[in-house]
Structure 1
């Protein structure tokens, strides 16, 4: 079975095509013939050794897969069937990541793919959309509240904007000039120029500070001044403060929701109905994964790069 991973941590060129044994689906599991796997920033951390994994080597990255169920293990029931088009949120462990022709995952992490979406588009959804959902939930805001989003043109930030609008929130988002039209198209009510001093520009719009902020740009302490006393910040790389003025900092870990089937399916249905946009930047053959990692690390990618497994 073809997979892409590393036997030694390193730069993009450390990625290589591997020949790994196939696994059978066990109790409560399904096996998926993967046709597309999205490339996420977490994948580059796995490749470089920046994210500790159990098992391995080899280490196979990948948290987003789209494909077809080709084996159903005992106890799964009739929710999933062989031949069904699905998407999966994968928690990598050693050689078991999404960059492979076949993966075995908990059935709870698998939901029907959005109708009408091809495999590359479907593969861009779950990891970033679920992270965005968790971020908003951690802020505990109410309809009409103001939320700020940094990194709004990225995959995570874009989903925060769209989900926040669906939740009835007022959204202030950041963007560089070339991305302003994109971010407004995602639903942002107001757009401010991105940068390390974005908190100042947010405060100009909301002098008392915003109720919550989702920090996709990893600005950490630099966005604290944008938040109202007693407000909250959701972070995505583990930063947990401290923050003054009673501001709560909520690190978000998507792996904690990898088996929340209802939430995963809800996101897939929102993509199906057009609430969430499936943005593909480029599709590349799986054997050229190093190229995709170089492009991602160079910055400026809008949407997701996707590996094609045929």
Structure 2
């Protein structure tokens, strides 16, 4: 089978599409014929060798989310059958990543996707959707509370805005001039400018400070000034600043959600009903994985970059 591999750490040009042995599903596992797999910052960090120890046995295969069709099931799997359209998350550290023609995942990690949802769009749901779902579980904000979302135009931020609005929260979100219309369309109640004046603008909209904050832009300590005493923050990266005034900072670890197929199914169902916006920036053939990495690292991409293993399916 074809797979994107990292034969050595370095820039995008180290990536190679290689032939690897077909993986066999074990007990409780399902083998998926992959139609589409996303490229995200985790992949570029892995490729550059910034995670320290190697993620697993060579050759290393990046990718954390995929969509496709069930190919075969392992012993003890009764809820899935060959031919079903599915989406799932996986981690390169637990074996080969998502950017392969066939990937084996635990049966409980899968969710079904409807026939009218494209594979490329479906592949954008798992990682960021489950990240935001965990963030809201940690924040525990009641309806009517005020939430700030930083990085609202990004993949995590966009889902956070929409799901926050759906939960009855008053959502304040940041945006640059080029993204303001998008963030408003996602449903933000108040849009504040990114940059040095952001905290002051948030405080103008919420003078006593906000109840919760999802820091998708990884701003860190400076944004705490926008949070009220005793408020809560969900951070997608480790927080490196002192936390005072009774504010609680919870680190979101999406790896804890990767076998939560039921939660993933809820997100898929929301997207199918048009309550969650799936944004695909570009679909590239798997042979152009290096180009996808270059585009992502250049910045400014809105929506997800997706690698296609079968153009007839995407």
TM over 0.5: yes
Q: Give the alignment of 1:1-310 within 5 angstroms.
A: 1-51=1-51, 52-77=53-78, 79-93=79-93, 96-239=96-239, 241-310=241-310
In structure 1, the gaps of 5 or more residues are none
CA contact 2:147–2:169 (8 Å) conserved in 1: yes
CA contact 1:53–1:92 (8 Å) conserved in 2: no
Cα root mean square deviation, aligned: 1.3
Report the secondary structure of 2:272's partner residue: helix
CA contact 2:153–2:175 (8 Å) conserved in 1: yes
Q: Which moved more, 1:143-152 or 1:113-122?
A: 113-122
- Shift in alpha-carbon separation, 1:240–1:212, aligned structure 2, 3 A: farther
CA contact 2:146–2:170 (8 Å) conserved in 1: yes
Report the secondary structure of 1:93's partner residue: helix
Q: TM-score, normalised by structure 2?
A: 0.95
C-alpha distance in 2 between matches for 1:163 and 1:5: 35
Query: After the TM superposition, which parts of structure 1 deviate over 6 Å for at least 4 consecutive aligned residues?
Result: none
- Cα shift readout 1:6-48 (whole Å, capped 9, x = no counterpart): 0111111111112111111110100000010011111111111
C-alpha distance in 1 between matches for 2:6 and 2:95: 9
C-alpha distance in 2 between matches for 1:235 and 1:114: 32
CA contact 1:72–1:81 (8 Å) conserved in 2: yes
- Shift in alpha-carbon separation, 1:122–1:59, aligned structure 2, 3 A: same
C-alpha distance in 1 between matches for 2:249 and 2:174: 20
C-alpha distance in 1 between matches for 2:246 and 2:5: 43
Report the secondary structure of 2:93's partner residue: coil
In structure 2, the gaps of 5 or more residues are none
- Cα shift readout 1:212-263 (whole Å, capped 9, x = no counterpart): 0001111011111010101111111222643110111111011101111211
Q: TM-score, normalised by structure 1?
A: 0.97
Report the secondary structure of 2:92's partner residue: coil
C-alpha distance in 2 between matches for 1:304 and 1:227: 30
Report the secondary structure of 1:55's partner residue: coil
